[in-house]
Structure 1
């Protein structure tokens, strides 16, 4: 139903002009919806800008690494007519460049980061041992230590995620992982030197884990709640 804008009587839809006064009633599309104004979608440009800056820095550093490697090879060959010290230096520089790749956030998965760093460490240690004249310490010492550190890293993160560990417990599990890793390294170092005693090794491991477990139990059951909340606010736990 519509109204004549001149005389105000009700007219049927489509009646033009007005049957009373003859005024031409304009056509109005009643189905047309007025577009509602919406707020623009919020977007944070900072991550994109930071990513671009990091990409430029990484490309620049990569070019510096390439120039440094080429220069060291050239200087070494000019001085010694062979590649001697430059092999060690350039392999170490390449390993550092690989670690820089992970530190710039190009890999987001924790498991892939641990695996990638382990591969870089193994390649570095394998190359250093080969350049030294043979595989004297890589397989009995370096390989099991790197693999053990990787397994402990995988286990730590999996445990944190599976148990939804938060707050102080994250720190406690971290210290336990550090103690286990240190004893793992100590085991293979002593084994390589033929000085390992399994019973003594287990006792020392247990004695090192005992203080950490005691502190975790105290924090969990003995520390007052207001103290825990105060520390959690202080360190954003």
Structure 2
């Protein structure tokens, strides 16, 4: 709605003269609302680009390893007339490819990384033992060692994600986990070779580590801040 600049009377839209005083109404362009264009949310494209690069690396490695498998297979057939050593090397090559896929971290989750690594290791050990004709050491030696490191690694990942801002407690937890794994290793090895579990050196290594781990917990809760900072520097935490 326009107004007459002389007498102030309202003039209908499109009117050229004032209906009261016949004063010509100047043409005024209507204001056009400017369209606002909000700044787009920035997107980090680095993970996508890096994932493409990792896929390319994996494909190249896979082609190279598959060519190596073909060479080993035919070399064994031509030299021995049957598959002997190539069974081990070919199987190991496929498991190596699986390890590389996991280590390239296509799924960036530490629990997945630990679980996938443990499953691949179990599959590798089972295959190596099975290729020999029968399962001799997998159940009594390979499985306990891998299962032990798998469970303790899960605990370690959980502890790191929840205690990374408390380095003294985290260091203590890792020390106690290492002491526990000493017991797992010696128990599995002695049980396989001697038919019963006999613990000796795991106590020598595990007890001091566990005691030091408990001392880290004590230092965190009861030591003054100046002492905590000095201990952190000693352990580079």
TM-score (norm 1): 0.80
Displacement of 1:58: 0.9
How far off is 1:8 after superposition? Answer: 8.8
Partner of 1:188: 188
Counterparts of 1:1-237 in structure 2 under 5 Å? 1-3=1-3, 9=8, 11-12=10-11, 14=13, 16-19=15-18, 20-23=22-25, 25=27, 28=30, 33-161=33-161, 164=163, 166-168=165-167, 169-194=169-194, 196-197=197-198, 203-204=203-204, 205-222=206-223, 224-225=225-226, 228=229, 231=232
The answer to whether the 8 A contact 2:164-2:170 is kept is yes
Q: 1:230 to 1:131 in 2, by over 3 A?
A: closer
Q: Give the alignment's Cα RMSD to 1 decimal.
A: 3.2
1:223 CA displacement: 5.5
Unaligned runs of 5+ in 1: none
Question: What residue ranges of structure 2 are gaps of 5+ in the alignment?
Answer: none
Shift of 1:27: 6.4
Cα deviation, 1:186-208, whole Å, max 9, x if unaligned, reads: 1111111226336x588544343
Structure 2 residue matching 1:116: 3-state secondary structure: helix
Tell me the CA shift for residue 96 of structure 1.
1.5
**1:165–1:43 CA distance, 2 compared to 1 (3 A):** closer
Stretches of 4+ moved more than 4 A in 1?
6-10, 200-204, 229-232
The alignment covers a number of residue pairs equal to 230
- d(CA) in 2 for partners of 1:86 and 1:8? 105
Q: Provide Cα deviations, 1:126-153, integer angstroms capped at 9, x if missing partner.
A: 1111222321111111011111221222
TM, length-normalised to structure 2: 0.80
